[in-house]
Amino acid sequence: MRRIRIHLAYDGTAFHGWQVQPGLATIQGALEEILSGIEGAPVRVAGSGRTDAGVHALQQVAAFSIENPIPAANLRRAVNRLLPPTIRVLSAEEVHPDFHPRFQAKAKTYEYRICRGEVCNPFEWPFVHHYPYPLDQERMSRLARAFEGQHDFTAFAASDDRDAEGRSKVRTVFSSVLDTPPARLVYRIRGSGFLKHMVRNIVGTLIEAGKGNIADVTVLPAASGPTAPAKGLFLVSVEYE
């Protein structure tokens, strides 16, 4: 049995997230259907994390086990021929049989993009949150830094089917930065791991700070702001030793 690791990018607009859901189009579901056809037997694909419906990825990491002897490069080409054009396998390689993309990940980076112009280019629309209203970007930047370090992010997480397991919601954020290029805000966060809707809830909180609705912008608020739309969020990278 061979263990294959792939890096892939996808436009999440038309998908109900990463995880397989009966009767719904998902990234994991599309990959498993194609790989099972190539293998002639069911293939389970594990991802580094479960991106939500409408969230995009520049470089998601996944892995699966197959017996088919097809070279990894040929497998990548075969899978890409069968995938919809909104999902692309960027690379494929054989790795140690014990490799798991989620359990062995050391850090992940997400990016959230906000269009600030009065008019949003229609070719950008599917990939940004259009917010042309006044914001105090300095206040937002100060609050962004407050998320760095180790914190309990329960207040910034949506309910999850794993909550019954009683897992800790403490996470370490290595960097949390808001960049302000012309007519755009780009929030980038790198951390040990992320909870459901965590990044989108942080962005919603930053927007509330920019609107002046959060008094102290140097410490984490007790509650998050509204969840920012999924379409502005990208999984940028996953890091391993």
Beta-bridge partner residues of 179: 186
Residue (of 52, 117, 57, 82) closest to 238 by Cα position: 57
Active-site residue, selected from the candidate residues 52, 98, 136, 160: 52
CB 114 within 8 A of CB 131: yes
Q: Are strands 56-66 and 46-47 parallel, antiparallel or unpaired?
A: antiparallel
Pair of tokens at residue 72: 């990894």
Half-sphere exposure of 157 (CA within 13 A, CB side): 18
**Are 9 and 58 spatial neighbours (Cβ–Cβ below 8 Å)?**
yes
The whole-angstrom separation of Cα 162 and Cα 54 is 21
CA-to-CA distance for 185 and 180, rounded, in angstroms? 5
Verify whether residue 179 is a known catalytic residue.
Answer: no
Active site residues: 52
